[in-house]
Amino acid sequence: MTEAQVCRRLTGRVAVVTGAGSGIGLASARRLAAEGAKVVCADLDEATGRAVAREVGGLFVHTDVTDPYMVEALFDEAYETYGSVDVAFNNAGISPPEDDSILTTGLDTWRRVQEANLTSVYLCCRSALPYMRRHGRGSIINTASFVARMGAATSRISYTASKGGVLAMSRELGVQFAREGIRVNALCPGPVDTALLRELFAEDPARAARRLVHIPVGRFARPEEIAAAVAFLASDDSSFITASEFLVDGGISGAYVTSR
Ligand SMILES: NC(=O)c1ccc[n+]([C@@H]2O[C@H](COP(=O)([O-])OP(=O)(O)OC[C@H]3O[C@@H](n4cnc5c(N)ncnc54)[C@H](O)[C@@H]3O)[C@@H](O)[C@H]2O)c1
């Protein structure tokens, strides 16, 4: 989408994006900025995080989202710099290969994934909410996944459980804070064509083809397509949507058998 085609629904809004250095976070930082938001880019990776902040004219805050002090400092800095926290896109997450079947996944791996994917979202929501309550408005978007809704035979057990936790936590927060003007939604992307996925399937194209069969639209999502949903959930266009499981999955969760 060209800049001219993007609407400016977020002028005057401040958006914090975690995991902004890559993939969905990167595309979302770009989209939110294109729609007029001031974007605070948080990432563990300094080089990529700093680069995207520079590109979108925003602020980079070096953050490990598993560290409660760094997360608090991130939202403090966003508020002190720009005067509000209107959007929190809590998106950073990991899916390491050693997180596999429950039969082989060690407790260390289980815990590392829970910390990065679920505890991090708890920490970000806990730090964002007081600023949103102060202004009586806000939109929190927590990245879950379609695997929070569907079981996979090729298991990543801690990842799936962590995303199920994100879904349940987002629903509860959405209900709790609805009357304060704060919306909380869980974004559930289907498989996205990011560097990680491309690398995985470059080694084994047959594996990619097997997965594509289950996606009715017949391809993986582009990060920009997920970012478009993020911008919608961030904006007032979604003012009556809260506590939802917002699926952006190309129909995968609706399909029983393969499409023709
Ligand atoms: N790619 C997919 O197919 C897919 C599908 C569904 C859900 N998701 C979810 O979407 C989110 C983003 O995924 P992506 O594919 O864009 O991943 P990615 O690996 O491209 O980007 C993740 C970013 O998060 C950062 N990060 C990782 N751990 C961090 C930490 N502790 N603190 C701060 N930053 C950290 C990384 O440095 C990276 O920049 C994740 O939560 C992922 O689980 C991805």
pLDDT single digits (tens) 55-98: 999 999 999 999 999 999 999 999 999 999 999 999 999 999 99
In-domain check, residue 1: no
Mutating to test ligand 1, I would choose from 143, 159, 198 the residue with most ligand atoms within 8 A of its C-beta, which is: 143
Which residue from 147, 159, 155 is spatially nearest to 118, judged by alpha carbons?
Answer: 159
Nearest CA to ligand 1 atom 32: 64
Total structural domains in the chain?
1
In-domain check, residue 24: yes
Mutating to test ligand 1, I would choose from 18, 24, 147 the residue with most ligand atoms within 8 A of its C-beta, which is: 24
What is the number of the ligand 1 atom nearest to the C-alpha of 195?
A: 20
* Mean pLDDT of all residues in 193-217: 81
In-domain check, residue 177: yes
In-domain check, residue 117: yes
Q: Tell whether the model's pLDDT for residue 216 goes beyond 70.
A: yes
In-domain check, residue 239: yes
Is the shortest distance between the CB of 94 and ligand 1 below 6 Å?
A: yes
Backbone angles phi, psi at 120, to 5 degrees: -60, -40
What is the number of the ligand 1 atom nearest to the C-alpha of 93?
A: 41
In-domain check, residue 26: yes
Q: Tell whether the model's pLDDT for residue 247 goes beyond 60.
A: yes
pLDDT of 203:
75
pLDDT single digits (tens) 11-61: 999 999 999 999 999 999 999 999 999 999 999 999 999 999 999 999 999
Q: What is the CATH number of the domain that holds 190?
A: 3.40.50.720
CA distance linking residue 34 with residue 26, whole number of Å: 12
In-domain check, residue 50: yes
Which pLDDT band holds residue 209 (cuts at 50, 70, 90)?
Answer: confident
Residue positions annotated with a catalytic role:
159
* Mean pLDDT of all residues in 231-238: 98
pLDDT of 210:
82
Is the shortest distance between the CB of 142 and ligand 1 below 6 Å?
A: no
Dihedral sign computed on CA atoms, order 47, 53, 56, 57 = negative
Is the shortest distance between the CB of 90 and ligand 1 below 6 Å?
A: no
Tell me how far the alpha carbon of residue 207 lies from the centroid of ligand 1, in angstroms: 21
Q: Are 255 and 213 in contact (CB under 8 A)?
A: no
Is the shortest distance between the CB of 250 and ligand 1 below 6 Å?
A: no
pLDDT single digits (tens) 116-155: 999 999 999 999 999 999 999 999 999 999 999 999 888 9
Tell me the sheet residues that pair with 18.
Answer: 42
One-letter amino acid at 184 equals V
Which pLDDT band holds residue 2 (cuts at 50, 70, 90)?
Answer: low
Is the shortest distance between the CB of 93 and ligand 1 below 6 Å?
A: yes
Q: What are the tokens at 118?
A: 């679920």
Q: Tell whether the model's pLDDT for residue 5 goes beyond 80.
A: no
pLDDT of 3:
60
Scanning the chain, the segments in alpha helix (DSSP H) are 23-34, 46-56, 68-82, 107-114, 120-135, 157-177, 195-202, 205-212, 223-234
One-letter amino acid at 1 equals M
Domain residue limits at 40 = 7-245
